[in-house]
Amino acid sequence: MSANWTKRIIGAAALAGIAGGLAWFAWPRPVLVDLATVAKGPIEVTADDDGKTRVRHVYTVSAPIAGKVLRISHPFGEQGPSLHVGDEVVANQTVIALMQPTLPGFIDVRSRDQLQAEVAAADAAIQQQEAEVQRIGAALDFSRTEFQRAQTLLRTQSTSAQAFDKAKFDVATNEAALASAKAQVDMRRAVRTSLAARLMDPANAAPSGEPTCCVRVLAPASGRVLKIVQDSEATVLPGTPLVDIGNPLDLEVVADLLSTDAVQIKVGAPVRIDGWGGAPIKGKVVRVDPAGFLKVSALGIEEQRVRVTIDFVDPPEVWSQLGHDYRVVVHVTTWSATDALTIPVSALFRKGDQWAVFADENGHARLEPVQIGHRNRHVAEVISGLAVGDRVVVHPSDRIVSGGRIGQREVP
C-alpha cells in the first residue's frame, strides 16, 4: 500500500513540475528594447550637399592672335621661362606663352602650275615696263636737248615764244612719264614677290636655328598657374584658352542645393564644411543666386537647383591644404535652437496621419501621439506629447504593442 502511495506522489510531483514548466514558458516576457531619454538641448537643421572649392577670380589667358603657340611647360631657352601648374606669376612681367607666325600651307599641283605661270607673266611684265622706262628716258633726253636749243634761239630772237614753251612742256611731260613708268616697275616687282611667296615650300619657310618670336603673352594678374589648357605646341585661333591663373588663397565654396532648401537659406547663415580630408571648417553664406537651373541627378531624376556661394570664416591656416576645384561637403544651417525638447528621430513612427512614439511607463509600452516641429537626420523637436525625462523606445519593432511589457536591453 505504501508503494502505491509513493508512486502517486512521484507522479503528482512530475505533473506539477511539467505544469510549472509549461506555465513558465507560456508566461509573457518583456520585449527587450533600446530606450532614449527626452531632454532639452541644442538642435540644428541643415541643408546638406556636395560642393566644391574655386578660386574667386580666375584669369583665363587666351591667344591674342592666330599663330603657332610654343610648348608652355617646356624650357624655351633664351625665348622665355618654362611654366608649370603651381608656378607663381607676376602681372605684366611673367611670360605665359610665346607665339610665332604660322607656316604657309601646302598647295596642290594645279595651283602651283598656275602660280608659276603667273610668276613668269610677272617677269615678262617687269621686262616690258623696264623697256618702257628706257624709251621714256630716251625721249626725256631728247626733249631736254630741244629745250636747251630753244633757250639759245630765244636769246637771239631766232625762235618764237610758243616753240620755247612747247619744248619746256615736253620736258615736264617726259619727266612725269618716266616717274610713272618707274613706279609701274616697282609695282610689278612687288606683284612678282607676292606670287613667289605663295609658291614658298613650307619645309623651307622657317629659317634654321631658333625662330624669332613675334608675340610674348604676359600674365594679366599676379598669382599661380591653376591649369595649362594648351600645353603642347599647336596652331591656334584668336581667343583660344592657354592658361588659367588665380590666387589659391582667394578661395570660396559653391554648392548647388535643391531649390526647396535654398528658399530657407539666408545670407550670413553659418555653414559647416567637412568631407575634404581634414577637420571641419566654419563658413558663412555670402550669396544665394536669384535664378535656379535644371540638373539631372545620378539616378536620372530632374532636380531644380540653386547655386549658393560660401566664404570661409576660419583663417587660411585651417584650410590652406584646399585648392581649386576640390570636393567638400557643406552643411548650411537653415534653423537652430539652443534649448529645444528633443527625441531621436529613430523613435518616431506614423500612426494614422500623425507621429507617435512608444513611451516607457513602469515597464509597459504606452502609445503616445506627439507633435513634431523641426528635425534633422538625428533628432526631432517635440512640440507636445512628451516631457523632459520621459523615456521612449528607439527603433520600435512590430513585437511592441500598447500596454505590453518592455525591458531595457543591456549594452555589452
Mean pLDDT across the stretch 192-201? 81
Name the band, by pLDDT with cuts 50, 70 and 90, for residue 208.
very low
What's residue 8's pLDDT?
67
State the total domains in the chain: 4
Question: With 50 as the cut, is the pLDDT of residue 284 above it?
Answer: yes
* Residues 155 and 235 reside in one and the same domain: no
Residue 261 vs residues 266, 297, 322: alpha-carbon distances, Å: 11, 16, 26
Name the band, by pLDDT with cuts 50, 70 and 90, for residue 214.
confident
Instruction: Write the DSSP assignment of 305-351 as a string of letters.
Output: EEEEEEEE-S-HHHHTT--TT-EEEEEEEEEEEEEEEEEEGGG-EEE
Residue 394's domain is classified under what CATH number?
2.40.420.20
- Residue 20 counted as domain residue: no
> Computed over its alpha carbons, how large is the radius of gyration of the chain?
49
Pairing of strands 31-37, 406-408: parallel
Name the band, by pLDDT with cuts 50, 70 and 90, for residue 411.
low
* Residues 175 and 126 reside in one and the same domain: yes
Name the band, by pLDDT with cuts 50, 70 and 90, for residue 143.
confident
* Residues 223 and 97 reside in one and the same domain: yes
First-to-last C-alpha distance (Å) of the chain: 58
Question: With 90 as the cut, is the pLDDT of residue 409 above it?
Answer: no
- In this predicted model, what pLDDT tens digit does every residue of 227-262 receive, in sequence order? 999 888 888 999 999 999 999 889 999 999 999 999
Mean pLDDT across the stretch 119-123? 88
* Residues 191 and 274 reside in one and the same domain: no
- Least confident among 90-94, 100-104, 220-224: 100-104
* Residues 117 and 195 reside in one and the same domain: yes
* Residues 89 and 76 reside in one and the same domain: yes
Write out the residue range of the structural domain in which residue 285 sits.
Answer: 45-55+248-336
Count other C-beta atoms under 10 Å from residue 207's C-beta: 8
* Residues 75 and 96 reside in one and the same domain: yes
Backbone phi, then psi, for 27, in 5-degree steps?
-65, 130
- Residue 23 counted as domain residue: no
C-alpha cell at 155: 636769246
* Residues 113 and 238 reside in one and the same domain: no
Mean pLDDT across the stretch 136-141? 85
Residue 214's domain is classified under what CATH number?
2.40.50.100
Question: With 60 as the cut, is the pLDDT of residue 207 above it?
Answer: no
* Residues 86 and 222 reside in one and the same domain: yes
Count other C-beta atoms under 10 Å from residue 404's C-beta: 15
- Residue 49 counted as domain residue: yes
How many Cα atoms within 13 Å fall on the side-chain side of residue 185? 14
User: Over 100-142, what HEC string results?
Assistant: ECCCCCCCCHHHHHHHHHHHHHHHHHHHHHHHHHHHHHHHHHH
What's residue 209's pLDDT?
44
8 Å CB contact between 68 and 211 = no
Mean pLDDT across the stretch 196-204? 72
What's residue 329's pLDDT?
96
Average pLDDT taken over every residue of the chain: 85
C-alpha cell at 357: 512614439
What's residue 202's pLDDT?
63
Residue 105 or residue 310, greater confidence: 310
Domain boundary among 246, 273, 305: 246
* Residues 84 and 211 reside in one and the same domain: yes
- Residue 379 counted as domain residue: yes
- Residue 15 counted as domain residue: no
- Residue 37 counted as domain residue: yes
What's residue 107's pLDDT?
78
What's residue 25's pLDDT?
56
- Residue 14 counted as domain residue: no
- Least confident among 63-67, 163-167, 185-189, 401-405: 163-167
Name the band, by pLDDT with cuts 50, 70 and 90, for residue 3.
low
* Residues 226 and 304 reside in one and the same domain: no
Name the band, by pLDDT with cuts 50, 70 and 90, for residue 212.
low
Mean pLDDT across the stretch 308-329? 93
Question: With 60 as the cut, is the pLDDT of residue 77 above it?
Answer: no
What's residue 33's pLDDT?
86
- Residue 6 counted as domain residue: no
Residue 259's domain is classified under what CATH number?
2.40.30.170
Count other C-beta atoms under 10 Å from residue 60's C-beta: 15
Residue 76 or residue 220, greater confidence: 220
- Asked whether the CA dihedral 372, 375, 377, 378 is positive or negative, the reply is negative
Domain boundary among 319, 336, 353: 336
What's residue 269's pLDDT?
94
Question: With 60 as the cut, is the pLDDT of residue 86 above it?
Answer: yes
* Residues 370 and 314 reside in one and the same domain: no
8 Å CB contact between 39 and 347 = no
Scanning 156-236, the segments in alpha helix (DSSP H) are 161-198
Question: With 60 as the cut, is the pLDDT of residue 299 above it?
Answer: yes
Mean pLDDT across the stretch 345-350? 92
Instruction: State which H helix or E strand residue 31 sits in.
Output: strand 31-37
Question: With 70 as the cut, is the pLDDT of residue 310 above it?
Answer: yes
Question: With 60 as the cut, is the pLDDT of residue 210 above it?
Answer: no
Question: With 60 as the cut, is the pLDDT of residue 38 above it?
Answer: yes
What's residue 346's pLDDT?
92
Domain boundary among 274, 306, 336: 336
Mean pLDDT across the stretch 292-317? 92
Mean pLDDT across the stretch 123-152? 85
Question: With 50 as the cut, is the pLDDT of residue 343 above it?
Answer: yes
